[in-house]
Amino acid sequence: MKDYASTPDNLPVPLDDGATDHVVGMTLPSVMLDSTQGGAVDLSTLSGYVVVYCYPMTGQPGVPLPEGWDDIPGARGCTPQNMCYRDHYAEFQALGAQVFGLSVQSTAYQQEMAERLQLPFAVLSDHLLAFAHGLRLPLFQAAGMQLIKRLTLIAKDGKVVAVKYPIFPSNSDASWVLYWLGKQT
């Protein structure tokens, strides 16, 4: 069984293809996204700083990853990314930022991961890709699924003010976001 809490050393590095160059300055789309903490969230209505880290999909213990997953640049590492945001959550709170994970998996699928990793924040399901399409986020295909490439958005009062893309290694963006937010105060 694979250890999803760490990543292999020889993963291919994703390249910046410019796929998020247009996002800064955009208004978050008004979309209701199901939450692992119950109900639904419309990110466009939240005030203050909102951090949305988008990841392709988390693995589940005992279930193999899609064939060739480790060969897709930037695909592997969703669990370490989630754990990194969990481990730095108090720092985000201290800066007054709300944190959300986001993927295309169903809320039930995400709920298992959120409970297993003891995430203190909500993970949102964009299973219809409405949020991703609203911002024209980069996508890729794997095992018959359309998935969001790993990226992180920082919004303030519903408008995107910063984007981190590509992200490698997968657990490196939380510290980048904390540094960026710290410079704003």
* pLDDT tens-digit readout, 9-38: 889 999 999 999 999 999 999 999 999 999
pLDDT band with cut points at 50, 70 and 90 for residue 109:
very high
Over residues 146-161, mean pLDDT? 98
Q: Is the pLDDT of residue 2 over 60?
A: no
Q: What is the spatial order of strands in the sheet that 49-54 belongs to? A: 40-41, 33-35, 123-125, 98-103, 49-54, 151-156, 159-164
Predicted local distance difference test score (pLDDT) of residue 37: 97
Distance CA(108)–CA(34), nearest Å, equals 10
Distance CA(41)–CA(31), nearest Å, equals 8
Q: Which residue has the tokens 């800066």?
A: 95
Cβ within 8 Å of residue 51, ≥6 positions away: 92, 97, 98, 99, 100, 152, 153, 154, 155, 177, 181
pTM assigned to the model: 0.95
Burial class (CB in 10 A: 0-12, 13-18, 19+), 170: buried
Q: Is the pLDDT of residue 157 over 90?
A: yes
Predicted local distance difference test score (pLDDT) of residue 69: 94
The closest alpha carbon to 123, from 79, 166, 165, belongs to 79
Over residues 89-100, mean pLDDT? 98
Quick one: DSSP state of residue 28? P
Distance CA(177)–CA(23), nearest Å, equals 16
pLDDT tens digits for 134-144?
999 999 999 99
Predicted local distance difference test score (pLDDT) of residue 8: 75
